[in-house]
Amino acid sequence: MKWYLDFGHGGKDPGAIGPTNLKESDVALKIGMIIKENLENALEKVITTREDDKYYSLDYRTKKANNENCDYFISIHLNSATNSSAKGCEVWLYNENSKLKNLANNLCNNLSTKMDTPNRGVKYSKNLSVLKNTKMPALLIEIDFISNKEVEKSLRNDNHLKNIADTISSTLLSFVNKSIVEDKVFYRVCIGSFSNKDNAVNLKNEAICKGFKDTHIYTT
């Protein structure tokens, strides 16, 4: 699959600002880049709007996704409200006929559980540019309310951001019957020492013939 990851705002447009001046654009970028890495590790193709703090118009975002013929469009945002106690995650779709309705519900459920925040559910809008102007199925994730002081504080924690990103990543991958590739640990096996180089070379060649292509001779 080819995913289009749209990290909200950027550059001259910081998006929502938290009580201690944390910018939505920065948080969306950090979370989004982890999602990108997770998807690519699972051998998914990923196209992004931006990978640094630059501004791109809404028109640019949807045109790029359309030109790249992406399969799905995922936009990452943080919510904001004048009510400083507001919190919770929600996902926006263009309408109830969206092919991503089940995915949107799963994202709400999984993020709510992982972050211990209210599930505000799936919502619909035909006015959001990234939903109405994309040719592929699209959704917009409002992870939580950056305007909430407690939420903003947690969004400054890199471990919390990784948990959010991993939750989104695993939910997206599950939608296409894949899962996050865990960090791999490799173990090296040594097969003896020889004072005669010919004996070492013979054993190396024997190991290669048996399928152990990553075989080397070291001197000590």
Provide mean pLDDT across the span 131-156. Answer: 98
Q: Residue 184: what pLDDT?
A: 54
What would the mean pLDDT of 141-159 be, rounded to a whole number?
Answer: 98
* Cα 207 to Cα 194: distance, rounded to the nearest angstrom: 15
> What pLDDT does residue 195 have?
82
Predicted pLDDT at 213: 61
pLDDT value, residue 75: 98
Rounded Cα distance between 7 and 14, Å, is: 11
CATH number at 2-175: 3.40.630.40
**What is the reported pTM?**
0.83
Backbone φ and ψ for 71, nearest 5 degrees, come out as -85, -35
Tens-place pLDDT, residues 39-75:
999 999 999 999 999 999 999 999 999 999 999 999 9
Give the pLDDT score at 211.
65
Mean pLDDT of the 77-88 span: 98
pLDDT-derived band of residue 210, with 50, 70 and 90 as boundaries?
Answer: confident
Check pLDDT > 90 for residue 193: no
Mean pLDDT of 105-110: 98
Q: Above 90 in pLDDT, residue 177? A: yes
Q: How high is the mean pLDDT of the chain?
A: 93
CB 39 within 8 A of CB 58: no
Q: Where along the chain do its domains lie?
A: 2-175, 186-220
CA distance 50 to 39: 16
Local confidence band at 93 (pLDDT 50, 70, 90 cut-offs): very high
What's the count of helices (H) and strands (E) in the chain, helices before strands? 7, 6
Q: Cα separations (Å) of 68 from 61, 65, 169?
A: 11, 5, 21
Nearest alpha carbon to residue 89 among 15, 167, 175:
167
Express as a percent the part of the chain with pLDDT over 90: 82
